[in-house]
Amino acid sequence: MLVLRLLNVVAPAYFLCISLVTFVLQIFLFIPSMFRDPSTTPLFSPALLHGALFLFLSANALGNYILVIQSSPEELGKGLNLGEGAEMVADWLDGSRSSGSALPSTHYCRLCARVTQRHDHHCFFTGNCIGSRNMRNFIMFCLYTSLACLDSLVAGMAYISASLSMSFANPLAFLTLLPHSISQFFSGALLSSEMFVILMLYLWLGIGLACAGFCCHQLLLILRGQTRYQVRKGMVVKTRPWRENLREVFGKRWLLGLLIPMLNVGSDCRRQKVK
């Protein structure tokens, strides 16, 4: 438990550090290197379009990240009839549910020491539990983080290609880039800044693929009307149309939430059931 609590503090700091490094590299290194002559740069140049795209992806990723943290599981559990006193806490710590729980997937998290409705899992990178209220923001956070990492990967490859005069037309060039760069770095033929960018390329690739895979997995569970907690506990879920499952998570204004970070306001069906 001590290791998990430490990870719950270190993981968000690690994510924010990686985000800051990515932002600095993009703004002060990758994007300026795309400008050949700033005085003759057209309004809709590839460099400006890339910068606008990166800022849009970063703003959405950071905005949804903040909304995931702000949608506290404690607020999700205020309307539950969980009983009173130490008996209620003991029941949750033992893994049992109170008879007055509003939902069968309501869960008490030992790390958060809070109760979450429609609990899915505990995310260490946000230091918060993912439930009915912040599920949509969490999926948007994973989606835009994946896109921002892949965007940084492409920009970084373009920078390395121009700096080292190499081509990535051959797919094996990226796979052999790291071992060759390490040997060149220790031989003094490669700058430390270029070596750092190369290491970040593989980090962006790993984070981007991980977030994309996790996002697809969450969408598959939503289409089936399930959560990871329900699958892990073997709970039987009533079959519903996939459109209704999507509407419950993303709401009626799903397109607006896809473009702008906003709180989840689409769980009207679930709110009516809780009432």
Q: Residue 58 class from Cβ within 10 Å (0-12 exposed, 13-18 middle, 19+ buried)?
A: buried
3-state percent breakdown (helix, strand, coil) of the chain, nearest 5: 65, 5, 30
Residue 274's φ and ψ, nearest 5 degrees, are -65, -40
Calculate the CA dihedral of residues 155, 159, 165, 170 and round it to 10 degrees. Answer: -20
Angle between helices 192-223 and 242-250 (to 10 degrees): 130
Residue with the two structure tokens 């990515």:
22
Element (H, E) at 101: none
Cβ atoms of 62 and 237 within 8 Å: the answer is no
Catalytically active residues, by annotation: 123
Cβ atoms of 229 and 119 within 8 Å: the answer is yes
- CB atoms closer than 10 angstroms to residue 204: 24
Q: What does the alpha-carbon distance between residue 109 and residue 251 come to, in Å, rounded to a whole number?
A: 26
Element (H, E) at 121: strand 121-123
